[in-house]
Structure 1
Amino acid sequence: MTVPEHPSTGTADSKLIRISLWVAIGALILAAIVCVVWVLVGTDNGVVGRAFLTILLLAAFAGAALLDARLAPRRPAWFALASMVTWVLCLLFGAILIWLPAPGWYYFDAFGRFISFLLIVLILLLALLHARLLIKAHQRHVTGFTRGVTIITIALVVILAAMLVIPLAFHEYFTYADPYWRAVVAIAILAAVGTALVPLVNALFAPRRPVARGYGPYPAAQTPVPPPAWPTYADGVTPLPVMPDGWPDWNAYYTGYPSTVSQAIAPVAPVAPVAPPHRGSDGGPAPGAPHSGSPAPGYEGYPPPPPLPPRP
C-alpha cells in the first residue's frame, strides 16, 4: 500500500496551518509580555544586555515563523504545525535562558547559556527532522507493524529530546544523577532500533519503484526503428499475404491471387493482373492507346521479380 507523500490540502489541513500561525502569534505576544514584566520588576543585573538579546530572539522567531508560513502549502499539514510548535519551544527556552537568574551559589555564564540554547535548538530540529523522515519512510509501505513501530519510535524520540533539553536549560538548578543518564541511553537505543526497523521492512516487503534507464532522471530517448519494407503486388500498394513460415506469398505476386494457405492466415483482396496492351491488326499499338516511351517491365507480360525482404 502506497500513501501519497503530499496529500491534497483540504479544509482540515488549512485549519491546521491557520492554527500554527495563531500559535506563533500568541507565543510572540506572550514572550514579549513576559520579558517586559521581567524588565520592570526584575533586578538591574544586565537588563540592557538581556533586553537586546530578547529583541534578537523575538526577531529570529518572527523570521522562522514567516518562513514556515511560506513553506506550509508545500508541506503536510501536521509537519507545518509541528514545525511551528518546535520554534515556539525554541522561543520559550531562549527566553528562559536569557532572563532566568542564576542561583546564589552559581555564577551567571552568558556564553555557556548561549551554547546551551544552540544545542537545544539543534536537538529540537533534529527530533522534528527524524519524525519527518520516519513518517515518509513509513508511508512507502503501510502495515500494522510499521504503523505501531513508527508511533512508538516517534514517542521515544520526543521523550529523548525532552530528557536532553531539560538538563541543558536547568543544569544550574538541578543535579542529574547516574540513573537519569542510564535512562537516556536506554531510550536512545530503543529509538535507534525503531528507526532502523521501518527501512528494513520496506526493503523486504515494499513494492519496488521503476528504475529509469539511461542517464539523468528521465529514461533515455530511443530512436524509433522504421518497420521493414514488405513486398507488394505489382500495383506497388497492396502487400502480399503471409505464409505459415512468415515469408511473403511469392506465388501471389506472379499470379495476382493469394494461395490457399496464405489466404487463410492473412486474407487479402485479390489484385487483378496487369492486362497486356491492346494491339492493332498490324501488331502495332491500337489507335487511342497510350504510348509509352519505354517497354513494359518484366518478361513476356509478367511483372519483374519482387525484391527480397530484409533478413533479421
Structure 2
Amino acid sequence: MTAPDPYATPAPRAEAGRTDASSSPLLRAAIWVAIGALIAAALVCVVWVLIGGQNGLIGRAFLTILLLAAFAGVALLDAHLAPRRPAWFALASMASWIIALLLGAIMIWMPERYHWIGFTKFIDFLLIVLILQLVLLHVRLYIKAFQRHDTAFTRTVVVITIALVVGLAALLIIPLAFGEWLYFADIYWRIVVAVAILAAVGTALVPLVNVLFAPKKPRAHAAYPVLAAPTAVAPAAGPAAHELLPWPTYVDAVTPLPMLPDGSPDWNAYYTGYPSPGAHVFARLEPATPAELSAPAPAEPAPPQPPTNQPGYEGYPPPPPLPPRP
C-alpha cells in the first residue's frame, strides 16, 4: 500500500446540488448529434450546389461556410462551458444551436418563390437565433425561481409555462423561416397572441408565489458599535490607531450609563432611569473643582540613594568572609 502524495493537486469537487454536465450521457449524445448535424448539413449543401440552379450560388456558398464555421465555434464553446452548467441546460443549449444550424441551411438553400434576398434571410436567421437564446435564458431563470419554493402547484405551473414558451418560440420561428412559402391566416396570429399572454401570466405566477410563501433569507442586521467602558485606557501607539468613542452618559452629561454583559451601553436605563438586570453600574464621575485644577501636581518621590557613609568601601558593601580552611 503506497502513501498518498502530499504534493498532489486535489481533484476539484463538483458543487453541491449540481450534476457534472461533462459526464452526462445525454450531453455526450447531444455532441455526437451536433457532429452528425454538421456533417449532414454540409452534405445537403454540397448536393444542392451540384444539382441546384446557378442563381446566387456564390453568395449561398459563402453564407453556408459562415454558418458551418459559426456552428463549430459555438459547439466548442458549449462543450467548454458544459462543466460549469447544469446538465439539462448544456443539453438544451446544444439542441438550440442544432436547430439554428438546420434552419439556417434550409433558409440558405431553399428554392426562392419570387427572388432570393440574402440580406432579408440573414436578418430573419438572426431573429431566430435571438428567439432561441431568449427561450434558454427564460427557462434557466424561471427554474431558478421555481427551486426557491417547490410545491405541487408551482411545479404544475412551471411545466405548463415552459411548454407555452417553447410553443410560442415555435410559432414565431415558423413564419421567419418559411414565410415565403406558407400563408398564415388571421387565426394563426390570434393564437400567437393568446399563447404569449398565457406564457406571460405563468411566468409572473412563480415569482409572486415566492414573494408570498417562499422562506426569506436571513439578513445581517447592523449592530451598534461597542463603546469602551469608562476606565483608564492607555493610548494606542502609532498614528493608525483608532480613537475610541466616548461612553454615553445620562442627561446630566456626567453619570455614565450602565454596561450590559455583552459590553454595550444600557440604553434602556437612559429612558427609564433604572439599570437593566445584570448591567454593571459605574460610579458617578464628579467634575473637578477649580482649586483642584489649579493645584500643582504632587512631586514624585526621589529614588532611594545607596548609603555613602561606610568608611573604606565608598558606599559599597564589604567583601564576604573567606571560606574556612582545613
Please state which band the TM-score falls in when normalised by the shorter chain: 0.5 to 0.7
Q: 2:50 aligns with which of 30, 35, 40?
A: 40
* Cα separation, 1, equivalents of 2:59 and 2:21: 45
Q: Structure 1 residue 24 and structure 2 residue 34: aligned?
A: yes
Question: TM-score, with normalisation over the residues of structure 1?
Answer: 0.66
CA RMSD in angstroms, aligned pairs only: 3.0
How far apart are the structure 2 equivalents of 1:64 and 1:247?
Answer: 69
* TM-fit CA distance, 1:145: 0.5
Which of 57, 61, 70 does residue 60 from structure 1 map onto? Answer: 70
1:139 alignment partner, SS class: helix
What residue number does 1:138 align with? 146
- Structure 1 partner of 2:186: 178
Superposition deviation, residue 6 in structure 1: 6.6
Deviation, structure 1 residue 246? 6.7
Q: Residue deviations 1:109-157, cap 9 Å, x none?
A: 1111111111111111111111111111101110000000001000001
Q: Does the CA-based 8 Å contact 1:7-1:76 persist in structure 2?
A: no
Instruction: Please list every run of at least 4 consecutive aligned residues from structure 1 whose deviation after the TM superposition is greater than 4 angstroms.
Output: 10-13, 222-229, 244-248
What TM-score, normalized by structure 2, do the two folds share? Answer: 0.63
Question: Letter of the aligned partner of 2:86 in structure 1?
Answer: P
Q: Deviations over 1:188-211 (max 9, x none)?
A: 000000000000000001111123
Distance 2:158 2:278 in 1: 61
Percent identity reads: 65
Task: Note if contact 1:61-1:91 (Cα within 8 Å) is conserved in structure 2.
Answer: yes
Cα separation, 1, equivalents of 2:278 and 2:153: 57
In structure 1, the gaps of 5 or more residues are: 215-219, 230-243, 249-292, 294-312
Count of residues in correspondence between the two structures: 227
Give the deviation of 1:11 after TM superposition: 8.7
Correspondence for 1:302: none
Structure showing greater relative contact order (alpha-carbon pairs closer than 8 Å, 6 or more residues apart):
1
Question: Does structure 2 conserve the Cα–Cα contact (< 8 Å) formed by 1:20 and 1:85?
Answer: yes
- Matched residue SS, 2:148: coil
The equivalences for 1:292-311 within 5 A come to none
1:251-307: per-residue Cα shift (whole Å, max 9, x none)?
xxxxxxxxxxxxxxxxxxxxxxxxxxxxxxxxxxxxxxxxxx8xxxxxxxxxxxxxx
Unmatched 5+ residue regions in structure 2? 1-14, 232-276, 282-303, 305-326
Contact 1:6 1:76 in 2 (8 A): no
Does 2:80 correspond to 1:70?
A: yes
Q: Deviations for 1:6-62, whole angstroms, at most 9, x for unmatched residues? A: 733359952122122212211111111111111111111121211111010001011
Contact 1:20 1:80 survives alignment (8 Å): no
CA 1:172 to 1:245, structure 2 compared with 1: closer, same or farther past 3 Å?
A: closer
The residue type paired with residue 167 of structure 1 is P
Q: Which residue of 2 aligns with 1:235?
A: none
